[in-house]
Amino acid sequence: MSDEIRKVHVIDQTGTPHEVDGLDGWRVMEIIRDNGIPIKAECGGACACATCHVYVDADWLDRLVPATDEEIERLDEAFEVKPNSRLSCQILMRPEFDGLRVRLAPGTEP
């Protein structure tokens, strides 16, 4: 893990934009939660629920590591799934994700 700080741009459930800092190797869900943005994230990152569901900005979707079969199955439990839906607990920050843009989906409210 690097000590480099990466930026993540998050739009919360009310439409308010946030620019938050995160470290490589951290889950995007943890970055969102630890920066005080309300996110349910019930399972804490174990890919056992869909309460950290986000919509990834179209410019970023193809840059991410593809979703696993397990993540795709969990997304079946999410509200309003779209082609750009991902679980933020399954996106690990890395240098090339600096500037990532996501929007919290319905059902992520604590």
Is the model's pLDDT at 4 over the cut of 90? no
Q: How long, in residues, is the chain?
A: 110
Is the model's pLDDT at 1 over the cut of 80? no
Sort strands 5-11 and 100-104 into parallel, antiparallel or unpaired: parallel
Contacts of 87 (CB under 8 A, 6+ apart): 29, 47, 50, 52, 53, 54, 67, 71, 74, 75
Q: What token pair was written down for 62?
A: 């193809």
Q: What is the pLDDT of residues 70-106, one digit of tens each?
A: 999 999 999 999 999 999 999 999 999 999 999 999 9
Name the band, by pLDDT with cuts 50, 70 and 90, for residue 24.
very high
Whether pTM exceeds 0.85: yes
3-state SS class at 42: coil
What are residue 73's phi and psi, to 5 degrees?
-65, -40
**What does the CA dihedral 48, 106, 36, 74 come to, rounded to 10 degrees?**
10
What's the CATH fold of domain 5-104?
Answer: Ubiquitin-like (UB roll) (3.10.20)
Q: What average pLDDT does the chain have? A: 95
Would you state the pLDDT for residue 2? 55
Residue spans per domain, the chain: 5-104
Which whole number is the average pLDDT over 55-81? 96
